[in-house]
A and B are shown apart, each in its own frame.
Chain A
Amino acid sequence: MSGASDVIIVGGGLMGSSAALFLRGHGLSVTLLETDLIGRQASGTNFGNVRRQGRPIHQLPLANRAIAIWRKSRELLGADVEYLQSGHIRVCYRDRPELVGSMEDYAANARMEGLDLELVSGNVLRDKFPFFGPDVLAGSYSPTDGHANPRLAAPAFARAAARLGAVIHENTQIVDAQKVGEDFIVTAADGRTFRAPILLVTAGAWGNALSSQFGEPVPIVPKGPTMSVTEPVPYAILPTVGVMTPLEQETVYFRQVARGNIVLGGSTRGPSFPDQYRAYVEPQNTVSQLKHIRRLAPSLGRLNIIRVWSGIEGYMPDSQPVMGPSATTSGLYYAFGFSGSGFQIGPGVGETMAEIIAKGATDIPTEPYRVERFTTQA
């Protein structure tokens, strides 16, 4: 037996790393196990949007909890994760005027959850942000959203957790998990075992491999969103920008980092290979992404991209995560399958899971995320 603790966490992305930090805050001993290095998968490769606007209304309490943590991240983590409350604009195009109504409805409901949004016409937007193209009909501005650096975030949470005593094993892939008596025993590929009465699965796109071992298979689909970044140019674009549309192809977004590079994301997602821990960018997806970026902001057509990448994200059929206790096994908890939008809420997920585990309850609504929605026949 390599180690015993109060809680074992399998998966060292943002969810596992932040849960480890907050569990230490509740005084529980924690062992965090990660196949690769901390925060190299979805949490380290994502676009970096720290945005509440656009999330389902039922998710806003969780997102609000997260934003409070992002705001104090520097003090909490003792590291700069480049969190910037720079604003977020969601726009719709002229060929979908009905979306203006959706934006208005959304803003009214979001306000009740404490998120203030401002609806702006295309012309006013173009006055303030001349990079928007003529196709942009209207936008919804969220001054309190922003972005952060995904490469830095999860590792900073894990280092902070380790400073508070969490034990972290990288290069440790869990291949078997069982409940034996009161304890979970998890076994790594190299034969090491770890024991604890509580097991938290934060294994991202790989979550189903573990939940299946407890009779709870879920229909998770791994995919790789398409990302690009430009050469650095003078810092001029403060807010993060994204398109509201029902079409995956048209869903593009961008942000400029303080260094000057503009990060571009979205449009068609590519295949990913969880078994190999690799996701590849399909060149045709890069070309199509850039086409849709030109529609959103034609002047970006003058720039060059210097790198593309992708990452492995687990998508659920209803785009909502599996988050909460197992229905088959006491002491077992899940938080995975964040369906392309787990970065912003990540720290809130960690704090909420720690609360559920340490206190047995939380005020944050988690009903929509129950694992039973996939495992019990209606």
Chain B
Amino acid sequence: MAEQRMSPRVIIVGAGPAGTRAAQACVQAGVRPILLDEGRRDGGQIYRRQPDNFTRPYAKLYGSEAGRAQALHETFNGLKSAIDYRPETLVWNIAGGQVWTASATYADAIPFDALLLCTGATDRLMPVKGWQFAGSYSLGGSQVALKSQAVSIGHNVVFMGSGPLLYLVASQYVEAGANVVAVLDTAPYSARIKALPDLLAVPSVLWNGVTLTMKLKRAGVAVHNGVTPLEIIGNADSGVSAVRFRTGAGTEQDIVCDAVAMGHHLRPETQLADLARCAFAFDPGTRQWLPERDSDGRSSVAGVYLAGDGAKILGARSAEASGRLAALAALADLGLPVDKGEMTSLRGDVGTYAKFARGLAKAFPWPSHQASQLPDDAILCRCEGVTAGDLRGIMRQTGAKEANRAKAFSRVGMGRCQGRYCGLAAAELIAAEADIPIEQVGRLRGQAPVKPLTIAIGDDQ
């Protein structure tokens, strides 16, 4: 019974920059990976492709990143025949060395020797009173509307929050001809000055950021720094009608608008790593729990690798490097020859981007205090309609001060989004209310399915 070892079974989840570069490294090593993505097309978030019937040019769609977008898409096109690419395929669970997928009602379980999770990020949101009204969007959602459908989320749009995406999406809206009424940044301008030494780690990206701000100013968009968002004014029938905020100087102001795009940079999609039983550690810099990994992307679980923004928010360029690096690490662990020198240089690249990311975290700090200051009547968990006051009351009644415990009693984070949008803010509120450090609140345990799964699953088998 001669052991005829076939080519190793490598599965990559996510066809963004990290997953694409990982797939390319596999193909170059003679391995045909399976590449799974729930999206209809490759490209991931930043290099999201437009639908087939749209023909906007790269420069218009991707701005300063047009060259990188085109290079990545072309790489992907070249790989297609050498990989087993399965679009519109959701990975909903991982167990027993198998990845569980759903494609419409078709269910499959695919075994792997190495699994690369390149699952990307979603918006990090801070609740604001009134954020449940129609017309409130995440920054990511408003960008998707523009990139894939070429539509604006409203006639008069306010951008509120913080982080590089705030300026990027606002200026993409300006460029597309939408009326951007104001950009309200919770970060004080001084934070950016303090962050400069770290931001200079990647001068070209820093320069991109500076030009964005200049572009907005030139277009006459009011940009306020150091604001405190107070309320999104509106009603259930007609949606958003204005945004109320306190300026850095302390005066209250209303801005009339019919749509708000909100976000505070990003949070990684770590649910699959959690289901694969990877160990997590608290990251004080971002105040988030992140899956542990070594410098090459090895998680705490043998055979499971993490790369791109799904492991830690380091941006698209870093995703390309860390995706390739994690694939090389996986291939090396599988006994295939890899270029050790290239791995060293990729590690250096990722280190540089990590420095830049630290700068971003300093320049656009997560306003954790905003969660504890949420008025009692503000909705904290939109899926379940739980207010800040509900959670506070339940904490007083039950003594709950652990994330999963508070969820069990209050339903915060128990809805359709599984705490993606309210979980981080809820943890801040709990920490403030219980007067304990945020890491003691713990993190919401990931549960399958990572996205809603049809009960009709397997019906056609």
Residues of chain A whose beta carbon lies under 8 Å from any beta carbon of chain B: 37, 40, 44, 79, 151-152, 155, 159, 230-232, 259, 280-284, 286-287, 290-291, 293-294, 300-309
B452, A306: Cβ atoms under 8 Å?
A: yes
Q: B105's closest neighbor in chain A, by CB?
A: A301
Q: Do B107 and A287 have beta carbons less than 8 Å apart?
A: yes
The interface-forming segment of B30-38, B408-416, B423-431 is: B408-416
* CB <8 Å contact, B458 and A282: no
B449–A305 CB distance below 8 A: yes
- State whether B455 touches A304 (Cβ < 8 A): yes
Asked if B457 and A290 sit within 8 Å, CB to CB, the answer is yes
Specify which chain A residues have a CB less than 8 angstroms from the CB of B98 in the assembled complex: 283
Interface size class of B (residues with CB under 8 A): 20 to 34
Which residues of A are found within 8 Å of B454, using beta-carbon distances? 301, 303-304
Interfacial chain A residues near B95, Cβ < 8 Å: 280, 282-283
Task: Assess whether B398 is interfacial by the CB under 8 Å rule.
Answer: yes
Q: Is the CB of B452 within 8 A of A302?
A: no
Q: How far is the CB of A150 from chain B (nearest CB, A)?
A: 9
A283 & B109 in contact (Cβ 8 Å cutoff):
yes
The reply to whether A308 and B447 form a contact with Cβ atoms under 8 Å apart is yes
Expressed in whole angstroms, the minimum distance between the Cβ of A61 and any Cβ of chain B is 32
Tell whether A306 pairs with B416 under 8 Å between CB atoms, given A37-B405, A283-B93, A283-B448.
yes
Question: Are B456 and A294 within 8 A (Cβ)?
Answer: yes
Contact A308 B449 (CB under 8 A): yes
State whether B447 touches A307 (Cβ < 8 A).
yes
9 new A-B contacts at CB < 8 Å, known A232-B415, A301-B454, A307-B449: A37-B405, A283-B93, A283-B109, A294-B455, A301-B459, A306-B452, A307-B414, A307-B418, A308-B448
A225 to B415, CA, bound (A): 22
Interface centre among A44, A281, A304 (most CB of B within 10 A): A304
Q: Kindly count the residue-residue contacts between A and B in the assembled complex, taking CB atoms under 8 Å apart.
A: 80
- B397 — which chain A residues lie within 8 A by C-beta? 79, 159
- Which residue on chain A has the smallest CB distance to residue B448? A308
Partner of A305, one of B398, B402, B408, B452: B452
* CB-contacts of B383-408 with A (<8 A): 384, 397-398, 402, 405, 408
A-B contact pairs, 8 of them (CB 8 A): A37-B402, A155-B409, A230-B455, A281-B93, A286-B448, A287-B457, A290-B458, A293-B455
Q: What is the CA–CA distance of A49 and B409 in the complex, to the nearest angstrom? A: 18
> Which A-chain residue is minimally distant from B456 (CB atoms)?
A301
Q: What is the minimal beta-carbon distance from A298 to any residue of chain B, in angstroms?
A: 9
**Complex Cα distance A73/B377, Å?**
29
- Once bound together, how far apart are the Cα atoms of A151 and B454, in whole Å? 25
Q: How far is the CA of A76 from the CA of B415 in the complex (A)?
A: 30
Give Cα A6 to B208, complex, Å.
72
Contacting residues, chain B, for A232 (C-beta < 8 A): 415
| Inter-subunit contact B457/A231 (CB<8 Å) | no
Contacts of A307 in B (CB 8 A): 414, 418, 447-449
Known pairs A44-B408, A151-B408, A306-B415; A287 contacts B458 (CB<8 A): yes
B411: nearest chain-A partner, CB-CB: A259
- B residues sitting closer than 8 Å to A (CB atoms) are 92-93, 95-96, 98, 100, 107, 109, 384, 397-398, 402, 405, 408-409, 411, 414-416, 418, 447-449, 452-459
Q: A231 contacts which chain B residues (CB < 8 A)? A: 415-416, 452
Say whether A294 contacts B409, CB under 8 Å: no
Distance between Cα atoms of A105 and B453 in the complex (Å): 40
- Interchain nearest-CB distance for A84 vs B (Å): 17
Interface pair A294/B448, CB less than 8 Å apart:
no
A304 touching B453, Cβ below 8 Å: yes
Chain B's closest residue to A305 (CB) is: B453
Residues of chain A contacted by B398 (CB below 8 angstroms): 155, 159
A286 to B409, CA, bound (A): 25
Cα-based distance from A302 to B447 in the complex (angstroms): 21
CB nearest neighbor in B for A310: B447
Q: Please, how many angstroms separate the alpha-carbon atoms of A287 and B95 in the complex?
A: 13
* 10 cross-chain pairs, A with B, having the tightest CB-CB distances, nearest first: A304-B452, A301-B456, A151-B408, A283-B100, A283-B93, A307-B447, A287-B458, A290-B455, A301-B455, A306-B452
**Complex CA–CA separation, A159 to B399 (angstroms):** 10
Quick check: A152 and B409 within 8 Å, CB to CB?
A: yes
- Residue in chain B with minimal CB distance to A299: B455
- In the bound assembly, the distance between CA atoms of A292 and B2 in angstroms comes to 42
Q: Please measure, in the bound complex, the distance between the C-alpha atom of A277 and the C-alpha atom of B6, giving whole angstroms.
A: 38
Residue of A nearest to B94 (CB): A283
How many angstroms between the C-alpha atoms of A159 and B396 in the bound complex? Answer: 12
| Chain A nearest Cβ from B387, distance in angstroms | 15
Give the distance to chain A from B46, nearest Cβ to Cβ, in Å.
28
Min distance, Cβ A158 to any Cβ of chain B, angstroms = 10
User: Complex formed: what's the CA distance from A214 to B347 in Å?
Assistant: 58
Residues of chain A within 8 A (CB-CB) of B456 are 290, 294, 301-302
Residue of B nearest to A280 (CB): B95
B contact residues around A159 at 8 Å (CB): 397-398
Question: Which residues does chain A contribute within 8 Å of B453, judged by CB atoms?
Answer: 304-306
Q: How far is the CB of B384 from chain A (nearest CB, A)?
A: 8
- Checking A151, A230, A281 against B409 with a beta-carbon cut-off of 8 angstroms, the contacting residue is A151
Contacts of B107 in A (CB 8 A): 287
A309 vs B409: C-alpha distance when bound (angstroms): 16
Name the CB-closest residue of B to A155. B398
Query: What B residues does A152 contact at CB under 8 A?
Result: 409
Q: Give B453's nearest chain A residue, CB to CB.
A: A305
Minimum Cβ distance to chain B for residue A289 (Å): 9
Report the minimum CB–CB distance from B404 to chain A (whole Å).
8
**How far is A74 from B447 in the complex, measured between Cα atoms in Å?**
31
**Assembled-state Cα–Cα distance A282/B448 (Å):** 10
Residues of B within 8 A of A259 (CB): 384, 411
Determine if B408 and A294 form an interchain contact, defined as CB atoms under 8 angstroms apart.
Answer: no
Alpha-carbon distance between A308 and B457 when the two chains are bound, in angstroms: 14
Residues of B within 8 Å of A306, CB to CB, are: 415-416, 418, 449, 452-453
Residue of B nearest to A39 (CB): B408
Nearest-Cβ distance from residue B436 to partner chain A, whole angstroms: 14
Task: Give CA–CA (A301, B384) in the complex, Å.
Answer: 23
Nearest residue, chain B, Cβ from A288: B458
Closest to A159 in B: B398
Complex: how many Å from CA A44 to CA B107?
Answer: 30
The answer for the CA separation of A259 and B383 in the assembled complex, in Å, is 11
Q: How far is the CB of B300 from chain A (nearest CB, A)?
A: 15
B446 and chain A: residue at smallest CB distance: A307
Query: How far, in Å, is B111 (CB) from chain A's closest CB?
Result: 13
**C-alpha gap A282/B411 in the complex (Å):** 24
Q: Which residues of A contact B457 (CB under 8 A)?
A: 287, 290
Distance (whole angstroms) from the CB of A224 to the closest CB of chain B? 13
Measured CA separation A152–B447 after assembly (Å): 20
For A297, give the chain B residue with the smallest CB separation. Answer: B455
A residues less than 8 Å from B459 (CB atoms): 291, 294, 301
Minimum distance in angstroms from A312 CB to a CB of chain B: 15
Specify the chain B residue showing the minimal Cβ separation from A231. Answer: B416
How many angstroms between the C-alpha atoms of A309 and B96 in the bound complex?
Answer: 16
